[in-house]
Structure 1
Amino acid sequence: MGINAKEANPMFADKLCSFSDEDLVSKYFVTRSQRVFREIYRRYKDPLFRYCAQMTPQQCVSVMENFWRSFMHTPPDLRGRNLKNWLFIHISRQLPNPDPAHETGNSEDESLQSALDNSEVLRAIQQLPHRERNIFLLFTECGLSLTTIADIERLPLALCRNLLQQSRRTVELAVHGSPRKPWKSAATLAQEAAAQQEAAQQGTENPAAPQKPATGFPWRKAPDIAVAATAGTNRSVEVV
């Protein structure tokens, strides 16, 4: 496909940056312009790759190549739907079925496998069961609503919410370990009990010891689960 004079103009490329995702797809659907496709690819290649790399590191490269090739030849007719949701919904459907033999195999990309192995958090995410990992990543990494994720996984919303919370606890436990209480001798415990009893008799209480703030995870900045589950369902639920 040749590039016409309008596409060759740098001003045309600059103008594309101001287009919404959905307008870009509509334009590409009609024109098959390579510049328009490259702008869509530029916006979403990294987030889609991060998601795919953590879901199927052994086959990530081939899955991404097939996905973008299919998009280029058969772009979606969104009909008012959200491009971001459409992309993650359809890439999740193209992931290979979970196979324990593949899960422990070598990645197509050694640098990708090295990145996964050298990050404590990424290693913890890789240990999640396939469904929990998908829910976890679609919500925390991809920013999809819990309602949309429940439809993707064909789960009741309450169960999807529980699996998300469980996956967060599992990752935090893998990274930090279980909380440990300081060891105290019997004599120390007896002294503390006597002090508490004396304070109670005097109508006072010992001030609570200041707690060390917990180490924050990136997904703590994600929207509240309950809010995400109910907000914008008319636009975010786009499973087709």
Structure 2
Amino acid sequence: MEFVLVHGAWQGGWAWAGVAGRLRDAGHRVFAPTLRGAEADHPGRAAVTLAAMGEGLVEDIQAAEPGRFVLVAHSAGGPVAQFAADRLAEKVKRVVFADAFVLRDGECVNDLAPRENVAEGEAAKNADGTIPMYPGMWSELFTNGAATPAPLVPIPARWVTDRVTLPRFWKAELPSSYVFFTDDRSAPRASFEAMAARLGDPRRVECAGPHEALLTHPDAVAEALLIASKD
């Protein structure tokens, strides 16, 4: 199989390294790009829009020249992956959401994020309009205390406040799966259940680990993605 792996907020394509290595060892082709505005040295991060992130992902996928591929999204990577799937529906074999946001046309991440998370993000916003992640919050809510390589970068605020445009995604009725990380503290389980329910009847896969299971439990995540991606 061919996989395109889309990372979540404060990270880059590096976050998938452990999972990607295991998938490649199993004989699969993997592409894990870093989204626009998530590069470590991006000079104009604050001005990057959700649409620019989606368009950049589409361009990167097209440049990689994959065949039909499984598109995997983690966390806030959900709407960016949906944007790409909307524009590349004929190439997408299946969309897999790993504790990821699933948006309707015209929604933004902050519409569905826990209210306390939205408030904390607004309070923490930098003067340039980017939103940082603090080590204490990362450890408490995202890795559950596990030490992880985490060269985290602030995110463009528009990643979570811009409304996504999806003229084709829902009409395309692409096969879908939802992977639930069983120890995720970043939001109530009910929030992820509600995301999955939007997909109708997705293949459901349980996977051990916290919200950042791709960093802490790469073996389990790789296995879960293979199960989620089967025809």
Structure number having the greater helix percentage: 1
TM-score normalised over the length of structure 1: 0.27
Of structures 1 and 2, the one with the larger relative CO (CA 8 A, separation 6+) is: 2
Q: Which has the larger radius of gyration?
A: 1
